[in-house]
Amino acid sequence: MAGLMTTQRGLLLSLLVLGLAVYYRQRWQTAEFTASSGGAETKTYCYSGGVRTGLEHPARAECFSVGDGRVTELYADAAGVPGAEMRPGHAMPGLWDGHGHLLQYGEFLHSVDLFGAASFDEVNRRIVNYLEANPGVGSRDLWIRGVGWDQMALGGMPSADMLAREERLKGLYIMVDRVDVHCTWVSQSVLDLMPADLPHEVPGGEIIRDPGMGVFCDNAMDIVTALWPHPDRRTKQEFVRSAMKALHKVGLVGMHDAGATPTDLAMMQAMAAAGSDGGFTLRVYAMLECEERNTVCLAKAAAVRQEDDDMLTIRSVKLFGDGALGSWGSAMLEPYSDRLDDGASGSLLVNASTLTRVAREWAAGGWQVNIHAIGDLANRVAIDAMETVLRDGLGDAGADADTDALRRLQEERHRMRIEHAQIVHPDDQKRMFALGILPSIQPTHATSDMSYAELRLGPERTRTEAYRMKTFLPLNPVLGSDFPVEPPNPFQGIYAAVARKNPHTGKGADGITDHGWHLEEALTIEEALAGFTKGPAYGAFMEGKAGVIQKGSFADWVVIDQPLESLEPVVNLEDRLRNFAVEETWVAGRMVYSKQEASTGTFVGVK
């Protein structure tokens, strides 16, 4: 009897174990299963349109598992996960913007949008509309802010009195930035705060006096920002949260923040430490910018340096060589073609020897050095500084080292970048290749500037120096948008790189024809996509973690409703790629955006 009971208990125990095994096996095999591994929840996602991995092999899969914010396994097909239920759509690695401005973009979302304004009256109307929606702004303590005006569209440079064409704007404090954020236009009330004896010349900048006072460019902008009542910490936190939400909508999972002060980075650290509860849902690779531009602030930098946080990395620094092309501020080797009468060739924001010294000190402190350079003179000076850094890095052997040794050091330790690399002399293009200097390029800058670039540069400089993309492809270019200067949508950036046409209109340089601008520099879709995935990963020392879906990588992906491959050939791009819509965006295994839920008002935040 005892033996029988023992046998029955054993049989019942076996059946129980078998039943539990079947239950958990079925649960494990569903399209989005949950398991436990080392205390971390694991889920698997399968997509009906497949998974683009971003790898050479395997290039595609159907499912992948996620645990603790990382990809834990990749499945070639759903047959490897019996009973799997497919989620709709096509999954691909999450996209990165390789050059943007997080706080400024958040501020832009809460300010006056002047992009596309075609007259001074339209500028005034937009500011009045903003004033009506935001009563109380425009006071001494809360200026009206905006960005996006362009004197090329307005018919000439503005002045303070042109911000008072509407009676309601008179007496208000207004500060609106040019489209490239390298000039700011202020109202008479702001001018009245300034001393009467403003300098006639500002090194590395310009106070525009024709047709009247009101515009300050590059280093001269410091005169205005010293008076501006900066947003407080709470307001800046709201800017960050607003920006991240907007960036997720276009498929961005991460961005390179091209210039943030130690104070602002400390604020971001606190937000990142709170995780999604603090609204910090986007990965940020930050470039530190000292409170005083183009200086060394190693002590303050050391206090915020951070390399062990997957959401916020701070190990890079931003320096500035020159201004922007649109305001004749980019530093050129030869005069602008449309300024031959006065010989204007732009100006460096800092002299060459100072830029080299500052770059050397930062690099010696273990920081990645990134230099803003648009004009061919600024790019040459930036390359000179970077070559000096590399020779320093080889010690006594550096003076006589060949370029192969310098390039190895650049690839293994420094990965210095030129932010924009917009107009580069052919001789200096060769030096970039020899040294392995990374170009950080914004494709939509080319399509925004193409209507006047040849006017500024002439046909020869435009053809041989300007807006290189295909030329720089072997250098692993980092692609981005420079938001808020350009919209952050990476699919518009891909379109601009591939079609070399305006992503908003689908037109070429003349605004009428469908022919792309200098198509010899156009990229393929695959090349452009790599620039928004693998390029930013390499430029941030994150290869293998960002921009791909593989075991051990960040669990960051986007879901789209059609495969990018369907957009080839380029003729199919017109109404599809430039208006591409993201269905879902996921960061660290959590959904941070859903188009369907956003459209129905049911999306409540990170899941």
CA 31 to CA 460: how far, in whole Å?
57
Handedness of CA 229, 234, 236, 242 (dihedral sign): negative
CA 216 to CA 224: how far, in whole Å?
8
Q: Is the separation of the CB atoms in 121 and 127 below 8 Å?
A: no
Mean pLDDT score, 503-519: 94
CA-to-CA separations, 517 to 374, 460, 496, 523, 529, in angstroms, rounded: 19, 14, 10, 12, 20
Q: Compute the half-sphere exposure of residue 462: CA atoms within 13 Å on the CB side of its CA.
A: 19
Looking at residue 41, its pLDDT comes to: 82
Looking at residue 47, its pLDDT comes to: 96
Looking at residue 22, its pLDDT comes to: 36
493 CB-near residues (< 8 Å, 6+ apart)? 442, 443, 444, 479, 480, 481, 486, 503, 528, 532
Among candidate residues 531, 206, 499, the one with its CA nearest the CA of residue 347: 206
Q: What's the predicted TM-score (pTM) here?
A: 0.91
Q: How many CB atoms lie within 10 A of CB 526?
A: 12
Looking at residue 540, its pLDDT comes to: 99
Q: How many CB atoms lie within 10 A of CB 312?
A: 21
pLDDT digits (tens, 9 = 90+) for 571-580: 555 557 887 8
- Residue 392 clears pLDDT 50, i.e. is over it: yes
pLDDT digits (tens, 9 = 90+) for 49-94: 999 999 999 999 999 999 999 999 999 988 878 767 799 999 999 9
CA 60 to CA 549: how far, in whole Å?
10
Of the candidate ranges 98-102, 104-108, 402-406, 600-604, the one whose mean pLDDT is the lowest: 600-604
Looking at residue 85, its pLDDT comes to: 76
30-88+549-607: CATH topology:
Urease, subunit C; domain 1 (2.30.40)
CA 198 to CA 500: how far, in whole Å?
43
Mean pLDDT score, 203-221: 96
- Residue 38 clears pLDDT 90, i.e. is over it: no
Looking at residue 604, its pLDDT comes to: 56
pLDDT digits (tens, 9 = 90+) for 524-551: 999 999 999 999 999 999 999 999 999 9
Mean pLDDT score, 184-209: 96
Q: Which two tokens stand for residue 498?
A: 């591939």
Residue 24 pLDDT class (50, 70, 90 cuts): very low
CA-to-CA separations, 268 to 62, 236, 258, 371, in angstroms, rounded: 36, 9, 14, 23
- Residue 35 clears pLDDT 70, i.e. is over it: no
373 CB-near residues (< 8 Å, 6+ apart)? 321, 322, 379, 381, 382, 418, 419, 420, 421, 422
Residues present in the chain in total: 607
Q: Which two tokens stand for residue 105?
A: 């973009």
- The residue ranges of every structural domain in the chain are 30-88+549-607, 103-225, 321-479+487-523
CA 66 to CA 264: how far, in whole Å?
32
The three-state (H, E, C) secondary structure of 367-391, written as one string: CEEEEEECCHHHHHHHHHHHHHHHH
Looking at residue 562, its pLDDT comes to: 84
Instruction: Pick 30 or 382 by higher pLDDT.
Output: 382
Mean model confidence pLDDT for the chain: 91
103-225: CATH topology:
Diaminopimelate Epimerase; Chain A, domain 1 (3.10.310)
- Residue 292 clears pLDDT 70, i.e. is over it: yes
CA 484 to CA 112: how far, in whole Å?
12
Looking at residue 79, its pLDDT comes to: 85
pLDDT digits (tens, 9 = 90+) for 439-490: 999 999 999 999 999 999 999 999 999 999 999 999 999 999 999 999 999 9
- Residue 7 clears pLDDT 90, i.e. is over it: no
Of the candidate ranges 87-101, 324-338, 587-601, the one whose mean pLDDT is the lowest: 587-601
CA 519 to CA 256: how far, in whole Å?
28
Looking at residue 564, its pLDDT comes to: 79
321-479+487-523: CATH topology:
TIM Barrel (3.20.20)
Looking at residue 603, its pLDDT comes to: 63
Residue 381 pLDDT class (50, 70, 90 cuts): very high
Of the candidate ranges 105-109, 164-168, 584-588, the one whose mean pLDDT is the lowest: 164-168
C-alpha dihedral, 494 to 496 to 499 to 503, nearest 10° = 110
- Residue 398 clears pLDDT 60, i.e. is over it: yes
Residue 32 pLDDT class (50, 70, 90 cuts): very low
- Residue 428 clears pLDDT 50, i.e. is over it: yes
Looking at residue 275, its pLDDT comes to: 79
CA 215 to CA 194: how far, in whole Å?
13
As a whole number of Å, the end-to-end CA separation of the chain is 56
- Residue 21 clears pLDDT 60, i.e. is over it: no
User: Order of strands across the sheet with 478-479?
Assistant: 95-100, 252-260, 283-288, 312-320, 368-373, 417-420, 438-441, 478-479
Looking at residue 581, its pLDDT comes to: 87
Mean pLDDT score, 43-52: 95
Q: Is the separation of the CB atoms in 259 and 251 below 8 Å?
A: no
